[in-house]
Structure 1
Amino acid sequence: MKLLAISDKYIPYQFMYDGLSSLCNLGVRIEVRRWEHQTLIELQQANLAIEQSGPDAVPLPAELTGNVDQFEILVVQFAPVSRWLIEAASSLKLIGVLRGGVENIDVAAATARGIAVLNTPGRNARAVAECTIGLILAEVRNIARSHALLVQGKWQRSFPNSDAIPELCGKTVGLVGYGAVGRLVAGYLHAFGSRILAYDPYFRGDPAPAEMTDLESLLRQSD
């Protein structure tokens, strides 16, 4: 079985190869090709065009799609997998997407061919959750406001919340959405001693450390 992987500036060649190399023990032959961009901004612009207009919006260079009919597995990060590419890949059985969404894949074309499409939901959930906690702390402690003023050479002692700067311990925090990111945020807030309410009509399972509630109650009770 042969696997074609297309790397980019976010997941470069060596990272891609190293991450897939264990499949060699299962008899999978791996080939990694580089989707080249001069800068990350160029890649982000291509990705934005794909997300807005679909995988046909940005054609792949011919050197990335040559002899694609020889591969049973295709693994990409941001590289677009268009209907044309899926039709050209006559041996393809599986498309792996190393991101949460599948905006860069023509899923309908793959489904029509009986090709499975697998994505990686929650891949960057921890980074987003940690950023969320950082933003909460920056807001309640006026960190960003104070820094901006200090850069201007100003020292300000009073802020809109100066009369009662809250600690997270004992406060009720509401989370709208309780997926991969929300559950991690809840765990971090629990360590601070917060009470956590969550609203997510699609969540199933044990919500601990959060308490599930309806949206109106969450908005009414959250600090």
Structure 2
Amino acid sequence: MTIAILDDYQKLVPELEAFKSLRQRLPHADIRIIDSMPLAAADIHRLADVQYLVLTRERSRITAGLLDELPSLRAIVQTGTAGAPETSHIDQAACAARGIAIIEGGGSDGHSAAEITWALILNARRKVPEYMASMARGEWHKTNPPVGIGQSVQGQTLGILGYGRIGRLLGQYGRAFGMEILVWGRERTQAAARETGVELAESREALFRRSDVLTLHMRMNESSRHSVKRSDLALMKPTALLVNTSRPGLIEPGALRDALKMGRPGAAALDVHDDEPVLSPDALYGGLNVTATPHIGFVEKSSYEVLFGAAFERFLQFLEQDPG
């Protein structure tokens, strides 16, 4: 049995208890860990005889062309979920046509994503990256270029678009820091707002207009894809911060860059980006007021244990039913 785990470019997977358990339960399997990203031609050659691919979230796109290079592939094991076919990083139709199963492990509890969202909010509001860079240059209270003084979040309005598991956690964090919580979303969000006692905005437009900090937490599907438009962003305050740690495709292509140039909102904080990995500063809103991290919302040990543990368990169940 040949198994390949893709995109472990930080070389974290071998240290996981979940991985050690998989090794013990499949002692004779040939398990290869690919630690480069994106896949190079030499990596694809190493995968030619692989029967099972394990994906690290959505880091690699699995296209029909790539599947053609993997004639022995029987199943793809997805940490997290594969997503809806129309928005997935996996060509699910191509998998079905080739008889390749997709095994989903399921999501995490949302705490790690909520934590990185809150970290970005505080860093962006208090100008932490700029002041850290200033100290690294041996300067004191000087930023390059000048970015102005930071702001406390206390007393500001935290808008949450999509009040599910992660959105609720953000609401708790915001309340603890003295923020007013304002939410908008579909029926489930509206019911959750009533249940938790937070304010439901009068309308979606009101959420964009009133928020000092607006964070996006919608599921990615065909209805939410590109649903945040230029017209929505134009409603935001010049002092407002837009935060996206969910999916880059929630925002209309090019809309955020244009909005930041126009000064509404005045700033953005991002953990997700188009065309990851982003390796050029100019490609990442160069010169605009953006605080960014390289998609690390799920990149912490407990989340890795949960994500890989669940995926490996589902994989082992699959093997019991279809040992091949």
Please say whether Structure 1 and Structure 2 have the same fold, judged by a TM-score greater than 0.5: yes
Counterpart residue number, 1:182: 167
- Structure 1's 24 and 121: CA in aligned 2 closer, same or farther, altered over 3 A? closer
Contact 1:122/1:181 (<8 A) preserved: no
Asked if 1:76 is matched to 2:61, the reply is: no
Which residue of 1 is the match for residue 281 of structure 2?
none
Q: Which amino acid aligns with 2:5?
A: I
Q: Would the alpha carbon gap of residues 122 and 186 (structure 1) be closer, same or farther in structure 2, given more than 3 Å must change?
A: farther
1:216 Cα offset (Å): 1.2
Unaligned runs of 5+ in 1: 38-42, 48-56
Give the TM-score normalised by structure 1: 0.59
* Inter-partner Cα distance in structure 2 for 1:5 and 1:145: 40
**Quick check: 112-121 or 211-220, which moved more?**
112-121
- Name the structure, 1 or 2, with higher relative contact order (CA <8 Å, separation 6+): 2
Say if 1:97 and 1:175 are closer, same or farther in 2 by CA, change over 3 A: same
Counterpart for residue 193 of structure 1: 178
Matched pairs, number: 193
Contact 1:101/1:121, CA 8 A, preserved across alignment = no
Matched, 1:95 2:76: yes
Q: TM-score, normalised by structure 2?
A: 0.44
Provide closer, same or farther for how the CA distance between residues 180 and 31 of structure 1 changes in structure 2, counting only shifts above 3 A: farther
Q: Identity of paired residues, percent?
A: 26
SS of residue paired to 1:206: helix
Runs of 4+ off more than 6 Å: 24-29
Given that 2:153 and 2:179 are in contact with CA atoms closer than 8 Å, whether structure 1 keeps it comes out as: no
Pick aligned residue for 2:158 from 170, 173, 185: 173
Q: How big is each residue's C-alpha offset from its partner over 1:36-87, in whole Å with a ceiling of 9 and x where there is no partner?
A: 54xxxxx2xx26xxxxxxxxx9674433332x3xx4x532324664321565
Report the Cα distance in structure 2 between the residues aligned to 1:75 and 1:61, rounded to whole angstroms. 14
**Does the CA contact (< 8 Å) of 1:173 and 1:194 recur in 2?**
yes
* Residue range with higher mean Cα deviation, 170-179 or 206-215: 206-215
Please list every run of 5 or more consecutive structure 2 residues that lacks an aligned counterpart in the other structure: 213-324
Q: CA deviation at 1:183?
A: 3.8
Q: Tell me which structure has the larger Cα radius of gyration.
A: 1
**Equivalent residue runs for 1:116-131 within 5 Å:** 116-119=101-104, 126-131=111-116
Q: Does the 8 A contact of 1:59 with 1:80 survive in 2? A: no
Looking at structure 2, the residues matched to 120 and 193 of structure 1 have their Cα atoms a distance apart, in angstroms, of 37
| Higher share of residues assigned helix | 1
Name the counterpart of 1:10: 10
